[in-house]
A and B are shown apart, each in its own frame.
Chain A
């Protein structure tokens, strides 16, 4: 199958943005014209041609998402979509059928916005098979998971006993491969486990009551392991003190803890509070942005919040529990899970008239606007925590238009309007920057060298948007989406299914560690490690491949 795309402006943040021809030859991109017979040709004048979008932090698989669905059946409203809503309704309701729709809908709506790869950032080891099975049922998208470590009791025990770093490295490698994940995520290092021991607070240098170790030690050890193993994605960290006034201090301490190694801070807007200001909360976005601008080992995703109803779900039981009284509606689920982590599900309404909510909105945008390099700040809403992923087009509009941003700013809580520096930030993102932030940046951050660009030999996941004055309309619905060279979506119609890949880190299991874990796993968990190890075959089918991502090499694909 050979497709020629001509007349469209190709934008990928690598080559100069210009109108040029692009060929999709089988499942690969090529810029070289071919003598072979074309199967299809599209005139794309007044369109832009970009790579498939990559969401590196969206909760689309695993136990917590299902628990949120179970808790909130009354929030499901079928038959509403973005285009069927008025602007006012859109502000009020999520355009998804619910804050946490089923997989069929999730896959459909992502593709409808031009996204082709999504990553679940909090895979509890015990839930890994579930998470992969769920993501396998999410159509059209390539997927991968970040393994939740740093509250697994075995690791905490080893660190507390002074285990050598090599042992931690081997353990992390074993865990990553056994659960077929592509990165390591830490949520409130040590804090989830501490909460099981009834500890209600844990600062970066505070000791876990039972293990007598600090989050700093855990972060240091895990970031060391991630670097030693050559994982493509840096340690992905949800900092201590989520949502707590003054938490910028622990965010800075977290950065210090990794001692200059690469670090990705997730949903950073929730970890950016100072203590000054009218209600004991203020924005500390500038401090974090300055640090990210100055230190090239750092990247963040924002987790931008939008006003309206959603549900927050997090492994951070400690802080979800602390916020339990803010749940709307007033029902919450907290789980202590499998000696590995936990889960807190809390339905939430973000409101304009609430000072901290308004402040959060402004902090998120401040981060976007203050961080200079669009390859180190990523467009996320931490779906569904800050907002549903379908808010991206709206968010892009906020970033590209100062006037539009100010039109929302004017409706914020008066104390935020009078104290925030957002109005002074006149930057407007260019189209190139938006494309970098949603394609090239996440691809590089994940070690997906053949994605995120329109370079020769790249995977032919290509999206065509019609140019439009209003970027929100433009990015809400692409004209066409190609997956691996096949046209799967055109003008609102889904035309074909797509082969999906699971992205897995390319690390080896150490034989000695395997023997050790086989021995102690049953003592620790009550079942054999064989029961939880996910075999390669389980991830393969006629419609599913495995792709190995690594920092150093090009990715390798395994198919059935």
Chain B
């Protein structure tokens, strides 16, 4: 299956078999969102139909609507954007903050990039930037980039990687080679190295580095904005993209920016509206603003207003958290919250690929896979998020 947490291929047959830490991480992410909503719970105990009617009524009277959370499939993304348009709402997913660190840099200066299968087949040097958090977040990256047929590739780990990461790359058949340095300075250092204007005395390590970079025919540069610990990531990414572009004047080099979870939503929102997914509708027309349309800034602004704001939280993948199942429909002090979540008794949102067939992008954003339900599930119980979003539309 394609993992709904990291969107990479996974050997697990079942969502419950996935053991990569991401499941917990994603729950933490949404818990953070919930805490920001700061609602005092006034849970209603009516049945689904009555609750739906109440939610529709709430939306009808709302002056401001935010749709956020996690969207894993094309079907849910379509329904979410469509609902946002009908209610003149704002839409921004919980993971988008990381995506837009890359997007901002690309929108300023473009990008040379490579998709996953291409890098796997063709790159003879991988430069991976970051720290152990990268593989904590996406443990299957080395395996996804490993081609059994090719001879072992060199992986240059730049940043704060420990033996743990080195071992993981070795286990996947790579020849890793870690140079510890400040992540902040990597784009500048790469520029300096490739200009051969080293500020420090070359040792064995750096001369090997020179040779590796010099003899590489195709270099792929990988980082994950979500697991980078640098200030002003977009500027950092932009500097790195400039270095990659400059390499292409004489050889081939391309970025493999890791965006993982938000890919499907971003793609669908972009083709429907013409904008990447951080938009606000006005008179049915979308407008895009990375800052004012972020869910954080929406919540901050709405706090000052009377309670005529409604937040719709979609949680398409978090299947197992027992707490989520209870917190569904919040009539908060500051916001009304309508939550679509799996396992809930009221708005049961299916898990893409686990309970319902769905289309989902792989991490390289190129490949859209069609997922069939991976196990028998009680079809009568499963209502995909798209169904509920369509019901909620005025």
Contacts and interface: CB of A to CB of B under 8 A. Distances in A.
Nearest to B276: A70
Interface string B273-303: 1111000000001111000000000000000
Contact of B109 (A63, A331, A538): A331
Interface stretch (B34-42, B151-159, B264-272): B264-272
B113 A335 contact: yes
Given A70-B103, A127-B366, A339 B118 contact: yes
Contacts of A102: 270-275, 286
Contacts of B108: 331
A71 B252 contact: no
A471 B121 CA distance: 53
Contact of B107 (A73, A104, A129, A133): A73
A333 B370 contact: no
A308 to B, nearest CB: 18
Nearest to A63: B366
Contact of A196 (B107, B122, B274): B122
Contact of B147 (A196, A337, A526, A535): A526
A130 B268 CA distance: 9
Contacts of A21: none
A388 B115 CA distance: 28
Contacts of A333: 106, 110-113
Contacts of A158: none
Interface in B1-55: 2, 9
A338 interface: yes
A538 B115 contact: no
Given A321-B248, A336-B122, A526-B147, A71 B366 contact: no
Given A98-B274, A527-B9, A339 B117 contact: yes
A336 B274 contact: no
Given A70-B106, A73-B288, A335-B113, A65 B121 contact: no
Given A198-B217, A333-B110, A101 B117 contact: no
B308 to A, nearest CB: 26
Contacts of B267: 66, 130
Nearest to B273: A102
Interface in A80-127: 97-98, 100-105, 124, 126-127
A275 B349 CA distance: 63
Contacts of B367: 126-127, 129, 338, 527, 531-532
A404 interface: no
B359 interface: yes
Contacts of B111: 333-334
B13 to A, nearest CB: 14
A339 B122 contact: yes
Interface in A8-29: none
Contacts of A153: 121
A524 interface: yes
A103 B118 contact: no
B85 to A, nearest CB: 9
A338 B148 contact: no
Interface string B63-86: 000000000001000100000000
B144 interface: yes
B333 interface: no
Contacts of A101: 274
Given A133-B74, A198-B217, A524 B271 contact: no
A76 interface: yes
Interface of B (DSSP majority class) = mixed
Interface in B280-338: 285-288
Contacts of B248: 321, 334
A137 to B, nearest CB: 6
From B144, B270, B285, residue with most partner A Cβ within 10 Å? B270
Contacts of A133: 74, 268, 359, 368
A509 interface: no
B134 interface: no
B392 interface: no
A78 interface: yes
Interface in A117-168: 124, 126-127, 129-130, 133-134, 137, 153
Nearest to B122: A196
B370 A538 contact: yes
Given A129-B368, A196-B218, A335-B115, A70 B121 contact: no
A453 interface: no
Interface in B90-112: 103, 106-112
B369 interface: yes
A334 B276 contact: no
A338 B366 contact: yes
B116 interface: yes
A196 B119 CA distance: 11
A526 B144 contact: yes
A103 B366 contact: no
Given A78-B285, A333-B110, A335-B115, A129 B270 contact: no
Nearest to B149: A523
Contacts of B120: 526
A334 B112 contact: yes
A73 B280 CA distance: 13
A137 B369 contact: no
B141 interface: no
B254 interface: yes
B114 interface: yes
Interface of A: 61, 63, 65-66, 69-73, 76, 78-79, 97-98, 100-105, 124, 126-127, 129-130, 133-134, 137, 153, 195-198, 321, 327, 331-339, 345, 523-527, 531-532, 534-535, 538
13 contacts: A69-B270, A73-B107, A78-B287, A102-B270, A103-B271, A134-B271, A336-B114, A336-B118, A339-B122, A525-B117, A526-B116, A527-B9, A532-B369
Which 9 pairs show the lowest CB-CB distances between chains A and B?
A102-B274, A331-B110, A129-B368, A78-B285, A332-B110, A134-B271, A102-B273, A130-B368, A336-B114
Given A76-B275, A129-B368, A331-B108, 16 more contacts: A70-B107, A70-B276, A72-B107, A76-B288, A78-B286, A129-B369, A137-B272, A195-B252, A196-B122, A197-B252, A333-B113, A334-B111, A336-B115, A336-B252, A339-B122, A526-B121
